[in-house]
């Protein structure tokens, strides 16, 4: 007790008594310790743990969202690809059809043109033939008049003569 004798303020301490001071001190110290720790250690630590929890939850949600987004995009791309393929196929089909149609048209046009040319040629031939026949007929008429006048030695008027000539020509045509 020598070391503490200077601190003894009251009567000589009894060892058997209750250490009321310790009780008060312990109580105060514990409460102060708890409050200090709450302010300086547990509070921030709980804060960061909560923050981490929220962060993890947020990350999970974000991952979920981006996964959904990716799936949606994939589906979209797949649809687009399918569409493009279909379009290409239909374009090819169209082109082929159009080609067929055009070919048919060209062929038809060519055929029509040929027909027209043929018709034209035929017509011209016919006309030429008519013309030739008419020319011959005229020639023959002259000759006939000449021949008739010489053969029958008889004057005929123009009307009778024409009539007669036509009869001859008709005959000549039937024979030929």
Partner 1 sequence: MHHENPIVTFLGLQFNLANVLMITVASAIVFLLAVLSTRRLAMKPTGMQNFMEWIMDFVKNIINSTMDWKDGGRFHVLGITIIMYIFVANMLGLPFSVVVDGVLWWKSPTADPAVTLTLATLIVGLSHYYGVKLKGTAAYGKEFFKPFWFMFPIKIIEEFANTLTLGLRLYGNIYAGEILLTLLAGGLATGVGGHLAAILPTLAWQGFSVFVGAIQAFIFTMLTMVYLSHKVSSDH
Judged by the rule CB under 8 A, the positions of this chain that interact with partner 1 are 1-4, 7-11, 13-15, 17-27, 29-30, 32-34, 36-38, 40-42, 44-49, 51-52, 55
Instruction: State the nearest-atom distance from the C-beta of 65 to partner 1, in Å.
Output: 21
Q: Do 134 and 118 form a contact (C-beta atoms < 8 A)?
A: no
Pick 48 or 121: Cβ nearer partner 1: 48
Q: Which residues of 144-166 are buried (b: 16+ CB within 10 A; e: fewer)?
A: bbeebeeeeeeeeeeeebeeebe
Phi-psi label, residue 10: left if phi above 0, alpha if psi -120 to 50, beta otherwise: beta
Instruction: State the nearest-atom distance from the C-beta of 67 to partner 1, in Å.
Output: 23
Instruction: State the nearest-atom distance from the C-beta of 33 to partner 1, in Å.
Output: 5
Instruction: State the nearest-atom distance from the C-beta of 31 to partner 1, in Å.
Output: 8
Assigned token pair, 46:
């709980």
Alpha-carbon distances of 71 from 20, 75, 77, 78, 172, rounded to whole Å? 72, 6, 10, 10, 101
């Amino acid at each position: 007790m020598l070391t503490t004798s200077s601190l003894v303020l009251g009567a000589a301490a009894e060892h058997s008594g209750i250490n009321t001071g310790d009780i008060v001190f312990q109580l105060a110290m514990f409460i102060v310790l708890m409050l200090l720790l709450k302010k300086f250690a547990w509070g921030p630590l709980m804060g960061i743990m909560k923050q981490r929890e929220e962060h993890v939850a947020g990350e999970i949600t974000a991952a979920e969202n981006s996964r959904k987004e990716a799936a949606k995009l994939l589906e979209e791309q797949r649809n687009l690809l399918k569409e493009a393929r279909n379009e290409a196929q239909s374009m090819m089909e169209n082109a082929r059809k159009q080609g067929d149609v055009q070919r048919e048209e060209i062929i038809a046009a060519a055929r029509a043109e040929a027909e027209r040319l043929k018709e034209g040629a035929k017509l011209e031939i016919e006309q030429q033939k008519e013309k030739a026949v008419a020319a011959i007929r005229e020639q023959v008429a002259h000759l006939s008049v000449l021949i008739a006048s010489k053969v029958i030695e008889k004057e005929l008027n123009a009307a009778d003569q024409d009539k007669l000539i036509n009869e001859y020509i008709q005959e000549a045509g039937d024979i030929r």
